[in-house]
Structure 1
Amino acid sequence: MGIISADVFLTLDGVYQAPGGPDEDPSGGFPFGGWQGAYWSDEGGEVVGAELARLDALLLGRRTYDIFAAYWPQQEDEIGAKFNAVPKFVASRTIGEPEWAGTTVVRDPAAELAEVKERFDEIHVIGSGELTRALIAADLLDRLHLYVYPIVLGRGRRLFDGVVPAAFRLSEPARTLPKGAVSLVYERAGEPVTGIDIGALDG
């Protein structure tokens, strides 16, 4: 059985929208596209590259898929070669015939992705906040890799808005990157434990 891992670039206030460039996703009047750029480093690129090297298949929500499908087929660098070569899945009830070669449409993630996990060792979700929340709700997300950047934006789509309660455990040592970004890798750890009296734990 393989795993589904969500890899997300995130601000301190939880925004994941348009980290890569000003025109990546201006929906909703978002004016801060490209917020990740000032914090990028060679070491950070190596960490991201190592993560991408692990993936056997790519799973995307419809919005992120449209962004990727418009860009990556024309790219011949290492990342482009990887994305173009691996099987791709897009979760959508409305998409027609996908244009990006190697793409399969997933109409019902909760029903279909268990079979996909049987076929691949690591299926990675990139961006795709709505899909990530749906995977958490369906208990299909096994791993959450957050790249947290030292910036707050105050607006934009936030990863955890509306998410069902879920607990995670840190599965790798946190890694601080140059310019203040932090790489955090978590595994799903069941349901949250709440209602604990912190005072009763003293001593």
Structure 2
Amino acid sequence: MATITVFESVTLDGVMQAPARADEDTRGGFPYGGWAAPYQDEVAMRFAGEGMSREGAMLFGRRTYEDVLGAWATAPEPNPFTEVLVNTPKYVVSRRRDTRLAYPNSTLLAGDASDTVAELRRTFDGAITVLGSGELVRALFGAGLVDELVLQQHPLVLGTGTTLFGSSRVELELQRTVPTTTGVVIAQYAVR
């Protein structure tokens, strides 16, 4: 059986919308895209690289899959992430069965996220990492399918934007913290 780890960048008020680029996700008129970029440092990159070096698979919602792979597949070389993102097995959750997946090593999980990911979790042997994919993550927490949560908590309050957690109660046990040089605290939690 697989273990599912959610890896997210959030502000102190829980916003996870559009951390990387201004045009990443402007839904709802969100004006603060790219808010996490000024906080990147060697500590955060090393931590992310540590996670990316683990064998396993990645799980995305369709929108995040298209955005993340689109951005990194066209990023200038060399960078530490493109090869891993392209070569790692990827599972993409979409409600639409006709969704086309543009990148290699990608498998569509069409239908309800709770059902399709529960089946993947039962049949996949290894680690599965979810990047971004807020709507998917909220559904997975609601269905009790997340084993671990890694938050990059940024010292920033935006007051608006899509937040990570919905209405599901989630109890966490702190496993590890890593402070960065820019005030970001990376917190690794087991989900109880």
Same fold (TM over 0.5): yes
Higher percent of residues as strand? 2
Q: 1:125 aligns with which of 120, 123, 130?
A: 130
Alpha-carbon shift at residue 55 of structure 1 (Å):
4.8
State the shift of 1:114 in Å: 3.6
Instruction: Report deviation, 1:163.
Output: 3.1
SS at structure 2 position matched to 1:186: strand
- The size of the alignment, in residue pairs, is 187
Task: Answer whether contact 1:6 1:132 (CA < 8 A) is retained.
Answer: yes
Unmatched 5+ stretches in structure 2:
none
Of structures 1 and 2, the larger Rg is shown by 1
Cα distance 1:78–1:38, how it changes in 2: closer, same or farther (>3 A)? closer
Please report the TM-score for the alignment, with normalisation by the length of structure 2: 0.90
Matched, 1:113 2:113: no
Which residue in the other structure is 2:140 paired with? 135
Evaluate the alpha carbon distance shift between residue 128 and residue 55 of structure 1 in structure 2; reply closer, same or farther with a 3 A threshold.
farther
Deviates more, 1:145-154 or 1:53-62: 53-62
**Alignment partners' CA distance in 2, 1:131 and 1:110:** 9
Cα distance in 1 for partners of 2:41, 2:73 equals: 25
Amino-acid identity (%): 36
Higher helix share: 1
Question: Which residues of 2 match residues 164-203 of structure 1 at below 5 A?
Answer: 164-170=168-174, 172-189=175-192
Amino acid at match of 2:91: F
**Which letter maps to 1:166?**
V
Q: Please name the residue that 2:167 is paired with.
A: 163
Q: Does 1:82 align with 2:84?
A: yes
Structure 1 gap segments, 5+ residues each? 190-203
